[in-house]
Amino acid sequence: MSFDTRITTDVNIQDGRQSETAAAVAQGTRRLLRSIGVATVCELVLGNGRRADIAGLTVNGTIHIVEIKSSLQDFRADNKWPEYADYCDHFYFAAPPDLDPDIFPRGPGFIVADHYGGEILRPAPFQKMLPARRRITMLAFAQQAANRLHSLQDPGI
């Protein structure tokens, strides 16, 4: 088994695809998750080829995925979010404070966030992952985190 590290080793996730708003929501969401014991990486490639905006891992192995939506247009244009549910125990949407939370489906959790932090407005229900899928996702998470740390310590790699 191998993981596609071409797109996951860059430490700087600002690759030009994210809007300023999406970057702010990501920063605040990651700060929130870290404050509750969830370590995160951005742009984690999942087993189905999709990339999670934010993937999180707790000390007990619980996996969180957060899909960032920066605007109503962003939400309406992207229907792939249901494909993330099988790769996590908790699935959330995260959005800026000026986006109406009522546009989002009620099933997933919901986080509101800006540059400084975030708040969970609706907790994500627990949906236990299949053990084999958990193992593959945790290995991808670990490899991406290690590669990014290596890139920080050895920028010329």
CA distance 4 to 124: 28
The pLDDT assigned to 23 comes to 96
Band (5; pLDDT cuts 50, 70, 90): very low
Matching residue, tokens 């934010």: 54
What is the average per-residue pLDDT within 6-27? 67
1: number of Cβ within 10 Å: 7
| Closest by CA position to 93, among listed 41, 52, 42 | 52
For residue range 18-65, list pLDDT tens digits in order.
789 999 999 999 999 999 999 999 999 999 999 999 999 999 999 999
Burial of 118 (0-12, 13-18, 19+ CB in 10 A): buried
Position 18 scores a pLDDT of: 73
Mean pLDDT computed over 60-74: 96
